[in-house]
Amino acid sequence: MKIAGLTIVIAMLLILTNQVNAQKHISSLLQYDKQIDGIISQMTLEEKVNMLHAKYMFVSAGVERLGIADMRYADGPFGVREEMQPNGWMPLNWEKDKATFFPTGSALAATWSPELAYSYGTGMARETRLRGKDMILGPAINIQRIPTGGRTYEYLSEDPFLSAQLAVGYTKGAQDNGVAVCVKHFALNNQENNRGTVNVIVGERAMREIYLPPFRATVEEGDAYGFMSAYNKVNGWWCAENDILLNKILRNEWGFAGMVISDWGGTHSTVGSVKSGLNVEMPDKKFLGQALIDSVKAGKVSEEIINLRVREILRVRLAIKPIPEKEANTEMTSQPAQQKIAYEVASKSIVLLKNDGVLPLQLKNKPVIAVIGANATQIMGSGGMGAGVKTLYEVTPLEGFKNRIGDKAEIIFAQGYDPVVFSFADMFKKKTPEEIEQKAREKAVIALKLTKEALEVVSKADIVLFVGGNNRAVETEGSDRKDILLPSGQDELIKKIAAVNPNIVTVLTSGAPNDLKVVKQVSKALLISWFNGTEGGNALADVLVGNISPSGRLPFTLPVNLEDSPAYALGNYPQGGKNADVFANLVSETEAVEKPKAEAIKSNDPNTALYSEESLVGYRWFDTKKINVMYPFGYGLTYTTFEYANLKTDKKKYGKDDVIAISVELKNSGKVAADEVAQVYVHRINPSVEWPQKELKAFSRVSLNPGESKTVTLEIPVKNLKYWNETKQAWDDDLCNMEIQVGASAGEIKLKKEINLK
């Protein structure tokens, strides 16, 4: 009897374990483990540790003796960075390393197209291979928590589901083409100010439901081979030595089998890092070099741990074929096939926010078009700190208009305002009050002159195309913006222009939200054209003249006021105090092991970011708190109209393992072909725990000719509706009644249907 009972218990345990394991992703990287046993058994401790830190700025070592090639990293995420000196940041000024500049993250996200994200990954991989590199340092996928975030333009969206879908597309596209991704920055790098010192205090539920899902999806759905740890701390621990993030969640729960590299200068300890799951210290060997050898010899770290970290790197090394040096860099990095992808993404990312009927532009009578704004001639591939692309070419908006309509309109141009220019020197040098005053006086004189020129030019024009927005000096790694106002006095200028010529179409080339109160009011049409890559200007011109219909949708909410957004409204950001830091490696190891202090959390400590808004990020906040927005998440107009009808679900009641199959009819009821993005949100009716008002759970981009109808089918697995139960430390079901809401944005729900989860 006893034995039979025990057998049953063991059998049940096995079933249970299998169930857990069945859910856990099995990485394709595990296939190399046998081969790796043989390699590791031949390696000395020194050879092993030699793999765990940088060899050069963008290279970590293999084992030459055993035929294991070095790992070569290509900086990304939106174009392969030019070649630099092995041990520094100075470019080598090669000819052939000019790359394609792909539209940056927020532009890619505005396409709402996982298929385009896949092409994007393909393109990034091809150029990475041409340069002879193995791993692309992208995609960059942190949630856009604050509108002012310095890297909002690099990141994808404020929504985890949209971010996840695109991140998986990028990951698969890159890895299917022979390049490992390095998903970054894991995790919760949601601000640049104090990024190297800040401790993010986040509740587990928000972390699991908002901030981690895009990362998780790249592992479970994309089989990502590489991750980069972030500079900041999460709940007291640096991300590069965060046992919870790296070992417990990433590896044990999600089944990640690849390698984690630190962000540049983001390693803070020897024993802590290597035990907690960090594989490679970049770009130094301060902690994972001799200090690690010594630590092993002193018995502080077992050689098994070293073997494990080496194994994880070798898995990636064996999955990615190294490119022999003589085959690399023989062709120009940027190639037409990739430029085409950049065009496709750009042309489908542009968001039309307002149109009083002036668009598409009518060119019958060869109008005079005044293009006003420094952003019309500004390149966006580089210009700030970090992630720059030395582009083979970049079509600016002005060039795009000339290319596409130079013969159909008379185009005249004035710069209009003095753009912000990035300077390293300014970042570090404090100016005296006299210097500041002097600078302000000079700027006022320039502004006066530029305004006068612009007003003269617009007085001669039929149409004003105001091309403004931020630039790469305004939105930059290492610091957040102080506000979301249009820089360089653009609001003042456009008001003056409107008094002379009110026929204004405004295009903003920004990667992140701007305050639109003024431009919206004075413009007949308003668009966002992002930092839109090598072909950005051509794509923009095609949209403005109607060669294609605009089809981008906002990947983030545009607030009326910055202060309405959650982290600002709750006083969680800015944290005050210190200025932005640039690199993180100025913090010592002793500081690194400090635990979070309760008193620091309460005070306005510049190094503590409290996420008390919890899951109410982006539209989840505005919807739940009923705060008006300028334009909602998911919003975007086009040159036609769509009708939504016949929302159906395949059943009324769903169990926890079911998939909710949704169908809706979409009709293009206008006169031109265009794409619509049907968005499905869920609203819980009688939940047992708190939820945001609604959450995006499915979407589909559909192309429709005039008059055409299509039935769109979308699916939501019920398991994707779970919440993180902090008490149980597990995902849990909240089986409640639920409204399926289908709409064109978070602010425009067209159809609703109630279902029950049981």
Nearest residue (CB) to ligand BGC, 40 versus 228: 228
- Do 146 and 513 contact (CB within 8 A), yes or no? no
Q: If we measure between CA atoms, which residue out of 121, 108, 188, 116 comes closest to residue 156? A: 108
Among 120, 161, 264, 343, binds ligand BGC (CB under 6 A): 264
Taking the CA of residue 667 as centre, how many other CA atoms within 13 Å lie in the half-sphere pointing to its CB?
8
Least separation in angstroms between CB 112 and ligand BGC: 24
Q: Does 642 contact ligand BGC by CB under 6 A? A: no
Q: Does 622 contact ligand BGC by CB under 6 A? A: no
Per-residue binding letters, 206-245, with ligand BGC (x by CB under 6 A) = ----------------------------------------
Which amino acid is located at 311 in the chain? Answer: R
Burial of 69 (0-12, 13-18, 19+ CB in 10 A): middle
Query: Cα-atom radius of gyration of the chain, to the nearest Å?
Result: 26
Least separation in angstroms between CB 288 and ligand BGC: 17
Least separation in angstroms between CB 239 and ligand BGC: 11
Least separation in angstroms between CB 199 and ligand BGC: 18
Nearest residue (CB) to ligand BGC, 361 versus 609: 609
Size, binding site for ligand BGC by CB under 6 A = 6
Can you tell me whether residue 623 is helix, strand or coil? helix
Least separation in angstroms between CB 53 and ligand BGC: 15
Nearest residue (CB) to ligand BGC, 230 versus 507: 230
Q: How many CB atoms lie within 10 A of CB 736?
A: 16
Which amino acid is located at 134 in the chain? Answer: D
Among 236, 386, 546, 717, binds ligand BGC (CB under 6 A): 386
Angle at CA of residue 409, ends 407 and 413, nearest 5°: 110
Nearest residue (CB) to ligand BGC, 211 versus 621: 211
Q: If we measure between CA atoms, which residue out of 741, 714, 733, 739 comes closest to residue 655? A: 733
Q: How far apart are CA 341 and CA 127, in angstroms?
A: 12
Least separation in angstroms between CB 490 and ligand BGC: 29
Nearest residue (CB) to ligand BGC, 128 versus 615: 128
Q: Residues of 409-431 as b/e, b for ≥16 C-beta within 10 angstroms?
A: bebebbbbbbbbeeeeeeeeeee
Q: How far apart are CA 652 and CA 644, in angstroms?
A: 20
Look-up of token digits 């009972």 = 5
Nearest residue (CB) to ligand BGC, 264 versus 654: 264
Least separation in angstroms between CB 103 and ligand BGC: 17
Least separation in angstroms between CB 386 and ligand BGC: 5
Nearest residue (CB) to ligand BGC, 56 versus 393: 56
Q: Does 75 contact ligand BGC by CB under 6 A? A: yes
Q: Does 91 contact ligand BGC by CB under 6 A? A: no
Which residues from 718-757 bind ligand BGC, rule CB under 6 A? Answer: none
* Catalytic residue set: 263
Burial of 237 (0-12, 13-18, 19+ CB in 10 A): buried
Can you tell me whether residue 491 is helix, strand or coil? helix
Nearest residue (CB) to ligand BGC, 344 versus 581: 581
Q: What is the 3-state secondary structure (H, E, C) of 392-423?
A: CCCCCHHHHHHHHHCCCCEEEEECCCCCCCCC
- Do 255 and 220 contact (CB within 8 A), yes or no? yes
Per-residue binding letters, 170-189, with ligand BGC (x by CB under 6 A) = --------------x-----
Look-up of token digits 């392969």 = 80
Provide the strand spans (E) within 242-318.
259-262
- Do 744 and 676 contact (CB within 8 A), yes or no? yes
Least separation in angstroms between CB 184 and ligand BGC: 6
Cis bond upstream, residue 86 (ω within 30): no
Q: Is 383 left (phi over 0), alpha (psi -120 to 50) or beta?
A: left
Nearest residue (CB) to ligand BGC, 192 versus 623: 192
Q: How far apart are CA 479 and CA 476, in angstroms?
A: 6
Least separation in angstroms between CB 227 and ligand BGC: 12
Q: How far apart are CA 359 and CA 550, in angstroms?
A: 10
β-strand pairing of 226-229 with 180-186: parallel
Least separation in angstroms between CB 263 and ligand BGC: 5
Q: How many CB atoms lie within 10 A of CB 201?
A: 19
Least separation in angstroms between CB 105 and ligand BGC: 12
Q: Does 263 contact ligand BGC by CB under 6 A? A: yes
Nearest residue (CB) to ligand BGC, 184 versus 750: 184
Which residues from 127-146 bind ligand BGC, rule CB under 6 A? Answer: 137
Nearest residue (CB) to ligand BGC, 137 versus 569: 137
Can you tell me whether residue 622 is helix, strand or coil? helix
Helix (H) or strand (E) holding 460: none
Nearest residue (CB) to ligand BGC, 78 versus 573: 78
Which residues from 273-302 bind ligand BGC, rule CB under 6 A? Answer: none
Question: What are the distances in angstroms from CA 134 to CA 58, 125, 180, 240, 415?
Answer: 11, 9, 6, 22, 42
Question: What are the distances in angstroms from CA 216 to CA 202, 221, 245, 394, 590?
Answer: 17, 8, 11, 34, 31
Angle at CA of residue 694, ends 751 and 665, nearest 5°: 25
**By the criterion CB under 6 A, which residues form the site for ligand BGC?**
75, 137, 184, 263-264, 386
